[in-house]
Structure 1
Amino acid sequence: MYEFLTYEGGVYKSNLMIERIEDLGGYIIQKNKESREITMLTAIPQEDLPTIEKLADELKGKIFKEKLIGTEIAVVSPSISRHHLPHPVCDIAERLRRAGALTNIVSIARGVGRRISQITKEEEKMIEEYDAAVFILGNFGNCLVNHKYKLLKNIDKPVIAVGAPEIPKLKNADKYIPGVGRKVDRMRKTEEQEKLDEIAEALGQLITKEREKINEDPLIVHPLEIKEKLEKELPLEEHDARHTPIVLHLDGLRIKLPYDEHINLVQDIEIGENKLKEIAEFNKSVNEAEDILITIQPESLIQTKKENEIPA
């Protein structure tokens, strides 16, 4: 298993950290330089964590364990109007990004109101493309308990719901966090910052459980290994792929290239002894860009397929 870490330190001698991580079989997922400082999202084998901690101390850098690195999270708002897309949506999305996740804000077309609120099948499919979702709900307990819980009903991914009312739980949500309603100001106060930390921690716990489920029946290849191969093989720069062109998921990846144009090239890329199409499933994203979604199959399923193959 990999340990996901954020490294913060000076640019000077940061190449030593990069080389050490790669020598240990780890990965640099993302790297950002600002003036004389560098921030890296990394994944390293768990048994090598003491080695990295020792080097970070020598370089006067800092290491933080982050549960959300390597995930893509949907932050869901009832609509895109200024009444229903308040500051907490952006604050929550930013806090999750600082914890290592890649986030996208998804606004439901008809999520407003009580009895009239609804979510379409296409919107549900879009949200299920992510590893987990955070639904930003409103200020009225009656509305949440009797109506808005229906928006979460068919989402087959970990879901956190946040809202203002102090209710113990919300149906269809894996976790409900109170104390976050519609606000006209940014969440700058100490107690508000603590609430953002609570949301990130709760989501991290759900993601950890999902990783544990996957580890019970491990994937044939870790998404990190496929990401590294794809970055070498695909013409990401030539086709002007969007920011972070390849996004890690818990059980796969999102490639931000048009599906119809590039699916054959992606499927034929060799991963070890297999072509990618032999060890993964492919789907077209429902978003306008029509990204390529890859779901890696577990090792047990691949083994079963091989055993059931009819000899030529």
Structure 2
Amino acid sequence: MTTLVPVTYKGGVYRHDEIMDLIDDLGGYIVQKHVMAQDVVLQSFVPRDDIDLIREVAKPLAGEVVEAPLVGTEIAVVSPSLEIHHLPHTACDIAEYLRRAGAKTNMVGLARGFGKRIANLNDEERDVINEHDLAVYALGSFEECIRQKFPVLRRGIQVPIVVTGAPDRETLVRAIDPPVEGYVGGVGRIMHRFKRPEELAKLDELVDEVSRTLDARRDALARDPLSVFPPRLMAIIEEQLPEVSMLTHPTPVTAQMEGLRVKLPYDLYADDIRSLAVTADGAVTVGDIADVLPSRMRNYILIRIKPFSETRILV
């Protein structure tokens, strides 16, 4: 079975369609395409054995192909608030750096995340965070504050959590009980953007920690694979549902590790998506292999792909 790995192609707009055609011909999938002035960035899944071929084709075009471990994931960056009191510079830089590694990030500023005594997490915030593959909590500078507030801020969260804070890693491990999946110390409230080498090194450490956590989740999924690869289902929806191409969102369909987020109104398009054919003969539809649910994020559609053990279908 061909193993698809996440990569990012960076190059000029000129002849980038040749790279797109090559990825398609090799059986890969383009998850997202960014065009910025004369530059283009393609986030995609390609066969592991064909990466060198893509690099060879990209070289005359002055293109670069790099492995991007977070492609195909959606991550929530959670801050106690987005007010100046919590210095949102850190959360913004974390979100941007994770995007550069391939992730789709969403900022979640809590309505009641401030104050040791009154900190809270409401139902909508909890549900929105749980719709992601992973949550990065950008916490503050004081161990005692983290110790008292975090149990409330994590209540009901079922996705893996990576915590950042000013205390070192060992202190965070000691302060947080029960433990979470990842810790990055030395990242507290900072009054400026991350610019210094030691600050950028912390962001690299965060990417490594998030990648390690998601790799563990991928290993768990591999033991009971999904009925269809999410980027493949994404390609099917984009091909059969023309309304998707008319959306102005940068990512009208967002790939996740276990499904997709389709940015169309649930009430109008949920039944249409359930009836889309996944196989050429039309014997298997999206509704047979996935749950099509309303998202708590606006009125979007959330697709959760069922595992093979539940459907006995592998597309």
Task: Give TM-score scaled by structure 2 length.
Answer: 0.90
Letter in 2 for 1:187: F
Corresponding residue for residue 191 of structure 1: 198
What does the per-residue CA deviation read over 1:6-33, in whole Å, with 9 as the maximum and x for residues that have no partner? 1112333323322221111011222223
- Paired position in structure 2 for 1:285: 295
Q: Does the aligned pair in 2 maintain the 1:282–1:293 contact within 8 Å?
A: yes
Shift of 1:39: 1.7
- Asked whether the 8 Å contact 2:82–2:88 carries over to 1, the reply is no
Structural RMSD (CA): 1.8
Q: 1:88 to 1:47 in 2, by over 3 A?
A: same
Q: 1:157-177 CA deviation, whole Å, 9 max, x = no partner? A: 111111111215133421121
Q: How does 1:22-37 map to 2 (within 5 A)?
A: 22-37=24-39
1:219 to 2:226 alignment: yes
Q: 2:292 matched to 1:300? A: no
Q: TM-score, normalised by structure 1?
A: 0.91
* Residue equivalent to 2:41: 39
Percent identity over paired residues: 38
The aligned counterpart of 1:7 is: 9
Query: Residues 195, 265 of structure 1: CA spacing in aligned structure 2 closer, same or farther, 3 A cutoff?
Result: same
Letter in 2 for 1:27: Y
CA distance change for structure 1 residues 47 and 164 in 2, over 3 Å: closer, same or farther? same
What is the alpha-carbon distance in structure 2 between the residues aligned to residue 199 and residue 302 of structure 1?
36
CA drift at 1:178 = 1.1
Looking at structure 1, the residues matched to 25 and 242 of structure 2 have their Cα atoms a distance apart, in angstroms, of 27
- Cα distance, 1:56 vs structure 2: 2.9
Alignment of structure 1 residues 246-285 onto 2, 5 Å: 246-272=253-279, 273-285=283-295
2:182 corresponds to 1:175: yes
SS of the residue corresponding to residue 85 of structure 2 reads coil
Give the counterpart of 2:211 among 204, 211, 225: 204
**Structure 1 residues 32 and 238, CA, compared in 2 at 3 Å: closer, same or farther?**
closer
| C-alpha deviation, 1:239, in angstroms | 6.5
Matched-pair contact (CA < 8 Å) for 1:78–1:85: no
Asked if structure 2 preserves the Cα contact closer than 8 Å seen for 1:31 and 1:41, the reply is yes
Question: CA shift at 1:299, angstroms?
Answer: 1.6
Structure 1 residue 251 displacement after superposition? 0.8
| Whole-angstrom distance in 2 between the partners of 1:50 and 1:238 | 31
Alignment partner of 1:100 out of 84, 99, 102: 102
The residue correspondences of 1:54-133 to structure 2 (distance < 5 A) are 54-133=56-135
* Paired residue secondary structure (2:108): strand
Distance 2:26 2:247 in 1: 32
Gapped regions of structure 1 (runs ≥ 5): 305-312
Q: Distance in 2 between matches of 1:11 and 1:105?
A: 30
* Alpha-carbon distance, 1:85 to partner: 4.6
